[in-house]
């Protein structure tokens, strides 16, 4: 059974061209419209597998269409297909529930591959924007709300220190010895770290730490701890 998509884009030539490209590759475009509300109505009626949505449209822009789709409880995956590689547009689209953010200058086969991944339930962002996405996740974005959503924003300095040691593969006993605290205290900190990162195991927590480059701060933290110990001995 072929994938069925609805396209909402105010550029007629683009709609016609993309419809031809997709249908050559076994994807059925069951509707291609210029206006957001008409697209929403057709999506509700025809129940496509994916809604392809442009960002810049005159009457009702893509973000407004996306917000309306989500507020109506429509569960169909929405994929932004746009010329905009602006960080703010990506942040807003993902925050409002878009399952994909793709660029109009993608190769057709790359676009089709991304749509097939999205149909399987994956979230897909255009390759060129992965660096932007990484910065957004790490909280280096200029956008303040994104900063509050960094993986480690709720961790205390001590929990960050212990997470670094977890990422180094150290056991609770070794961590306790290194930090001069009891095993029980380490266990309590690890439990808090797992809860705050919303993961179920120390391995998952360590993976997140490595992915986010937290181990790079390991030496800084060790130096800081050594300095504290030296001061306490004086």
CATH of the domain at 50: 3.40.50.2300
Quick one: pLDDT at residue 23?
Answer: 93
**135 and 165 share one domain:** no
pLDDT of residue 225: 45
Cβ distance 36 to 60 under 8 Å?
A: yes
3-state SS assignment for residue 223 = helix
pLDDT of residue 123: 86
Domain boundary among 140, 175, 205: 140
Q: Are residues 96 and 212 in the same domain?
A: no
pLDDT at residue number 24: 93
Q: What confidence score (pLDDT) does residue 49 get?
A: 96
Residues 128 and 78 in one domain: yes
pLDDT for res 7: 97
Phi-psi region of 48 (alpha: psi -120 to 50; beta: other; left: phi over 0): beta
Q: What is the largest CA-CA distance in the chain?
A: 77
Joined tokens for residue 233: 């001995």
Domains held by the chain: number: 2
Give all strands (DSSP E) within the chain, no chain letters: 3-8, 27-33, 50-53, 78-82, 100-103, 124-125
Neighbours of 116 (CB within 10 A): 16
Yes or no: say if 136 and 91 are a contact pair by the CB < 8 Å rule: yes
32 and 134 co-located in one domain: yes
Based on the fold, state whether residues 65 and 11 are members of the same structural domain: yes
SS3 76: coil
| Alpha carbons 225 and 219: distance in angstroms, whole number | 10
In a domain, 145, yes or no: no
The CA distance from 99 to 81, in Å, is 11
pTM beyond 0.75: no
Residue with tokens 């807003």, as numbered in its chain: 92
147 is a domain residue: no
Q: Name the residue range of residue 121's domain.
A: 3-140
Q: End of a domain among 140, 175, 199? A: 140
Q: Are residues 50 and 124 in the same domain?
A: yes
Cα torsion for 169, 171, 175, 177, to the nearest 10°?
-130
Residue 132 falls within a domain, yes or no? yes
| pLDDT for the residue 33 | 95
Mean pLDDT for back-to-back runs of 10 residues, the chain (234 residues): 92 93 94 95 96 91 93 93 88 89 90 92 83 64 47 82 85 90 90 87 80 57 45 47
pLDDT value for 131 = 73
Q: 133 and 162: one domain?
A: no
Q: Distances from the Cα of 145 to the Cαs of 46, 94, 137, 153, 191, in angstroms?
A: 36, 13, 11, 12, 27
Q: Are residues 172 and 136 in the same domain?
A: no
Same domain, 183 and 115: no
**For residues 206 and 143, what is the distance between their CA atoms, to the nearest angstrom?**
27
CATH number for position 179? 1.10.10.10
């Amino acid at each position: 059974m072929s994938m069925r998509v609805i396209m909402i884009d105010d550029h007629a030539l683009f709609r016609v061209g993309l419809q031809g490209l997709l249908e050559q590759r076994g994807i059925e475009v069951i509707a291609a419209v210029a206006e957001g509300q008409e697209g929403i109505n057709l999506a509700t009626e025809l129940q496509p597998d994916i809604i392809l949505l442009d960002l810049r449209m005159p009457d009702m822009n893509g973000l407004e269409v996306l917000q309306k789709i989500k507020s109506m409880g429509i569960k169909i995956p929405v994929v932004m297909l746009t010329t905009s590689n602006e960080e703010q547009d990506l942040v807003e689209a993902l925050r409002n529930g878009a399952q994909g953010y793709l660029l109009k200058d993608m190769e057709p086969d790359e676009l089709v591959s991304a749509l097939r991944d999205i149909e399987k339930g994956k979230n897909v962002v255009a390759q060129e924007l992965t660096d932007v996405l990484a910065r957004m996740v790490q909280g280096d974005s200029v956008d303040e709300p994104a900063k509050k959503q960094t993986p480690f924003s709720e961790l205390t300095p001590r929990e960050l220190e212990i997470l670094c040691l977890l990422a180094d593969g150290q056991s609770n006993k070794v961590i306790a010895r290194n930090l001069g605290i009891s095993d029980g205290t380490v266990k309590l900190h690890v439990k808090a770290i797992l809860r705050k990162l919303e993961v179920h195991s120390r391995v998952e927590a360590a993976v997140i730490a490595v992915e986010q480059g937290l181990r790079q701060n390991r030496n800084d933290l060790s130096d800081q701890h050594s300095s504290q110990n030296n001061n306490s001995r004086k």
